[in-house]
Structure 1
Amino acid sequence: MKASDLFVKCLEAEGVERIYGVPGEENADFMKSLEASSIEFILTRHEQGAAFMASVYGRLTGKVGVCLGTLGPGATNLITGVADGNMDRAPLLVITGQGALTRQHKESHQVMNVVEMYRPVTKWNCAVNHPDNIPEIVHKAIKLAVTEKPGACHIELAEDVAAMDTDAVVLRLSRVRRPVPDDMIIDEVWDRLRSAKSPLIIAGNGAIRTRASRELRALCDATGIGALMTFMAKGALDLDDPQCLFTVGMGQRDFPQLAIDAADLVLTVGYDPVEYGPAKWNEKCDLDIIHMDFDPAESDIHYQPIVEVIGDLAHGLGALNKRIQRDGTPQYDLTAQKKLRQKMMDEFKQYADDETKGSIRPQKAIADARAVLGAHDILLSGVGAHKMWVARHFQSHEPNTCLISNGFCSMGMPLPGAIAAKHADPSAKVLAILGDGDIMMNVQEMETASRLGSDITLLVWEDKAYGLIAWKQEQDFGSHTDLSFNNPDWAQLCNAMGWHHQACDASVDLQDCLKTALDHEGPAMVVIPIDYRENMELTKRLGSIDQTF
């Protein structure tokens, strides 16, 4: 068969259901092969949007998300979204076209070394130089993409290779069972937990895997030990669980640090330093840390575990739970953790019932977003000042119901990500919170959403500036450079793109506006004037935190 037909059959055999992308001339054979396949192709308006869609699809489903671009500018356009997905640990496959092998050795139109360019932002990448290699390459790429820690893999398919004939056959689908921690190391962890006086858990991105979250909840429930969650670990514990200590990860010292300071042992579960570096929470390098994860700990002077438990995270937590059932629950002093939970619950209530007109406080916008979403609905956050408020104030009932880009931390994910989130879970309501800077990064995907009839809602926080940069400059220098810009007429933009639009400038009306938008069939946008004076007010309050609550 033709090589491109074989490539597509390999993808089908691996369970690929959907590909997002923008094709070019060099993908022509591949695209014709897709026409006769079971795989749906989603045409996007920019390759970056395609990469974000594939990344979010992968994060939510645990299956590999696939995006496609052509050579040269198509490949460079993809790369920011690919880097973001890779560092957010999304299982992601990137397919790019390339000029024929007969012209790759010389200066040639649009030809560049894409494989080398992608190497720093992928787990593995490879160019197909012979059609018979396709089954092995596709199988390896997807196998590595979904293996812990998940990430991006890249395959380059040159135009002449795609058109060649081959007798190669599809490889059998295989999934690797992860190794499990040794019983002896679990015994050591249990001994240390039993002898601790005030242990604390920090849950990271790895803890939101379904089985890991279930076992973590059982551990916290049995022992009473509280868990802080990083931005990407939201929902590892239900926000209503007494042991849920909410979110850690603000750049500035925040109340959760007081609970960390009070701990004599910190158990990290699926912790990923790309989110929240250990220097932020273990500045003095004096904490006793137990590291539980799929991979060994990063070498960091501020993160030197006394024990490392490497292997399947759910199995390791389950083994601990069996020892708790066997030996009973130790007695701990968790006073600081209880105070933290109450303190943060008080923080969440601040301005939740605000009725200000003319602008809306971030706390109110977050409270209303939480109020209109169910336990299994999905919220996505972009990058900007709004991200810090979502991270600190929006809490989740279930894993993978709040997606924040917090590894590579790129702007532009929420709009395309919302489209993919609806594909991943059609039964969920999907709400994206994003700034007016963030939405304009991939505003062209409004057309994609309209064309697909995507039932998604965007809540745009408008301040007509890059608010997070202004906030940080204000903290560091007492003032900020000119970071202001103008915005389109949102109503006219929505009308042109076939979207439902609502403007809301009164806090008392926001919840109803959100309900109307979420109930609307198809894409909808709610725009609010955000009161970012609250940014520096929060900075001042956190700056006065001492050693107690």
Structure 2
Amino acid sequence: MAEIHGRLTGEVGVCLGTLGPGATNLITGVADGNMDRAPILAITGQGALTRQHKESHQVMDVVGLFRPVTKWSCAVNHADNIPEIVHKAIKLAVVEKPGATHIELPEDIAANETDARPMRPGRPRRPVPENKIMDEVWERIRSAKSPLIIAGNGAIRTSVSEQLCQFCHATGIGVLMTFMAKGAVDMDSEHCLFTIGMGQRDYPQSAIDAADLIITVGYDLVEYGPEKWNAEGARDIIHMDFLPAESDCNYQPQIEVVGDLSHGIEMLNARVARDGTPEFDFASQAKLRRKMLEEFAEHDDDDTKGSIRPQKAIADVRAVLGPHDILLSGVGAHKMWVARHYQCHEPGTCLISNGFCSMGMPLPGAISAKLSRPDAKILAVVGDGDVMMNVQEMETASRLSSDITVLVWEDHAYGLIAWKQQQEFGHHTDLSFTNPDWLGLCASMGWQGERCEDAADLQDALNRALTHKGPAMVVIPIDYRENMMLTERFGKIETTF
């Protein structure tokens, strides 16, 4: 919940945990938010300082435990230090790249009185790129024949997206977006080339192969490693981000633009306005967009009975949600279909966990999203394995009367693991499990529940759930035979269309 609040608002999402198991139970969520670049502050309890030096009930090194999954982890050892510690934790959580911080509060310190006052809040102004480097970048772009942009998680900051769209409109350069950069460019824009990030070779690789210059904007290597799209490490790359490029053999930019990303693109826009638009060849990018639009529309009118294709499920979800509404995706086979087929009009309207890739985010995340964006419809797409990771939060949603919808793709197995093992070995281990009686579960938790077995009925079922006031669940039998069919097609994709 704290992660989703941070991702949607840019404000720090704060979560609390007790000492011992309360602290350890936060670890996966904190790690997920940290690697997804969400500003989070986790505050945990701890045993008194007087007993930390010895074996003692529920006492462990929580600060050390949180260090690998946060930007900063610190224990309070004097009540008067709290204003400085809190100020530093929040400051570090929000500065680029945002992430998680942790404060430990021992029980005896918590009981102390203090006259210390909170420090003034504030955000430091980020440095901007130098004119000299932006001149170099602009000259390199002007000399290219087929430049291409890869936008990452950093590109969905509102001001960055606005400047990026202006730049694309002025130059005609197309944009591939990572899973977490969806909506950086409107899906209806001719410059939107949709999503990159599948594990296998997909059609977007064709546009990368045809480009003689790649401009990365807020690109995060934790999402989609450069070895996937730059295996030889030989592509000409301009790196634009808040931080310097990671050292990676497959990602060696010729130019690095480090500083406020929105301001950097604004500086490029000023140069376009001054010098005009160069002549580029975007034939490959136009072909890619046409090909992907054909893919998205292929199963719009499916009327299969007894199971529903992933493509149809995604098409219907897109049809019932408006431009400002929010979809959350869990981790599993469903995430890959959401990532490839669900497209957005605006940044921050599709939230996928793709850094740490933890299961269990969408249900509590949907509750948080509704609190942060009360005017938006909130729909979580989950696998049955994913939602069972945090199924107890159905009670939380019911207690809070959360107006959310959860769409469960049911296959009685860990579908993504099966998919990966099938690709690698030609078979998979036993990954099946038994699900609860979903409708009985909904009734016991105070949710509206509905099963939808036939593809033709899905949109109506989703609309009923979305218009219901309070939490609602729709369960569908998903046809994951499409997984390996997609893999077989990936194997046949050529460099050119």
Bucket of the pairwise TM-score, normalised by the shorter protein: over 0.9
> 1:193 & 1:301 partners in 2: Cα distance?
23
Offset of residue 189 of structure 1 = 0.3
The residue aligned with 1:308 is 256
**Residue number among 354, 363, 367 corresponding to 1:406 in the alignment:** 354
3-state SS in 1 of match to 2:25: helix
Write the deviation string for residues 202-225 of structure 1: whole angstroms up to 9, x where unpaired. 000000000000000001000000
Given candidates 46, 51, 58, the residue that maps to 1:110 is 58
Of residues 409, 418, 436, the one that matches 1:461 is 409
Q: Which residue does 2:107 correspond to in 1?
A: 159
Residue 84 of structure 1, CA deviation: 0.2
Q: 1:150 — aligned with what?
A: 98
**Is 2:218 the counterpart of 1:270?**
yes
Q: Report the Cα distance in structure 2 between the residues aligned to 1:105 and 1:339, rounded to whole angstroms.
A: 66
1:166, CA displacement in angstroms?
A: 1.3
1:394 matched to 2:351: no
Runs ≥4 residues deviating over 6 A: none
Distance apart, 1:270 and its partner CA: 0.1
Amino acid at match of 2:261: L
Please give the per-residue CA displacement for 1:101-133, whole angstroms capped at 9, x wherever unaligned: 100010000000000000000000100000010
Counterpart of 2:47 in structure 1 is 99
The structure 1 residue matched to 2:310, chosen from 362, 365, 389, is 362
Aligned length: 497
Give CA deviations for 1:254-280 in whole Å, capped at 9, x if unaligned: 000010000000000000000000000
2:71 aligned partner: 123
Per-residue Cα deviation, 1:277-307 (whole angstroms, up to 9, x for no partner) = 0000000111000000000000000000000
Match of 1:74 in 2: 22
Kept in 1, the 8 Å contact 2:174–2:192? The answer is yes
CA distance in 2, matches of 1:547, 1:174: 49
Q: How far has the Cα of 1:170 moved from its partner?
A: 1.4
Q: Secondary structure at the match of 2:193?
A: strand
3-state SS of the aligned residue for 1:397?
coil
Cα distance, 1:168 vs structure 2: 1.3
Which residue number in structure 2 is paired with residue 326 of structure 1?
A: 274
Q: Select 1:208's aligned residue among 134, 156, 173.
A: 156
Instruction: Within 5 Å, give how 1:184-333 maps onto structure 2.
Output: 184-333=132-281
| 2:94 maps to 1:169 | no
Distance 1:87 1:165 in 2: 36
Letter in 1 for 2:159: R
Partners of 2:205 and 2:495 within 8 A in 1: no
The answer as to 2:385 corresponding to 1:437 is yes
The aligned residue for residue 394 of structure 2 is 446
The equivalent of 1:342 in structure 2 is 290
Deviation string, structure 1 residues 340-362 (Cα, Å, up to 9, x no partner): 00000011012111000000000
Distance in 2 (alpha carbons) for counterparts of 1:216 and 1:353: 34
User: Cα deviation per residue 1:27-78 (whole Å; 9 max; x = unaligned)?
Assistant: xxxxxxxxxxxxxxxxxxxxxxxxxx00001000000000000011000000
Q: Does 1:380 align with 2:328?
A: yes
**Counterpart Cα distance in 1 of 2:133 and 2:188:** 32
- Which amino acid in the other structure matches residue 207 of structure 1? A
Q: How far 1:546 moved relative to its partner?
A: 1.3
1-structure distance, mates of 2:117, 2:487: 60
Question: Do the aligned partners of 2:83 and 2:117 also contact (CA within 8 Å) in 1?
Answer: yes
Structure 1 Cα separation of the partners of residues 326 and 209 of structure 2: 33
Measured in 2, the distance between the counterparts of 1:421 and 1:169 equals 32
Query: What is the Cα deviation at residue 143 of structure 1?
Result: 0.4
Which digits, 9 at most, give the CA deviation of each residue in 1:138-170, with x for residues without a partner?
000000000000000000001110111112111
What's the secondary structure of 1:547's corresponding residue? coil
For 2:427 and 2:114, the matched residues in 1 are separated by: 64
- Residue 173 of structure 1: how far off its partner (Å): 1.5
Measured after TM superposition, the shift of residue 479 of structure 1 is 1.0
Matched, 1:483 2:431: yes
Amino acid at match of 2:139: D
1:472 to 420, 424, 433: 420
Q: TM-score of the superposition, structure 2-length normalised?
A: 1.00
Post-superposition CA distance 1:3-33 (Å, at most 9, x none):
xxxxxxxxxxxxxxxxxxxxxxxxxxxxxxx
Residues in 1 aligned to 2:495 and 2:25: alpha-carbon distance in whole angstroms: 47
Partner of 2:491: 543
Give distance in 1, aligned partners of 2:118 and 2:232.
54
Secondary structure of the 1:484 match is coil
* Alignment partner of 2:88 out of 135, 140, 159: 140
1:533 is aligned with what amino acid? R
What one-letter code is carried by the residue in structure 2 that aligns with 1:409?
C
1:506 maps onto 2:450 in alignment: no
Q: State the one-letter code of the partner of 2:486.
A: L
User: Hey, what's the Cα distance between the residues in 1 that align with 2:47 and 2:425?
Assistant: 50
Helix, strand or coil: the match of 1:351?
Answer: coil
Q: Match for 1:361: what amino acid?
A: R
Distance 2:43 2:7 in 1: 18
CA deviations 1:220-244 (Å, max 9, x no partner) are: 0000000000000000000000000
Q: Secondary structure at the match of 1:287?
A: coil
Q: Cα distance, 1:191 vs. partner?
A: 0.2
Compute the TM-score of the two structures, normalised by the length of structure 1: 0.90
> 1:174 offset after TM fit, Å?
1.5
SS at match of 1:347: helix
Q: Secondary structure at the match of 1:345?
A: helix
Give the equivalent residue in structure 2 for 1:20.
none
Distance 1:258 1:315 in 2: 30
What amino acid is the match of 1:59?
Answer: R
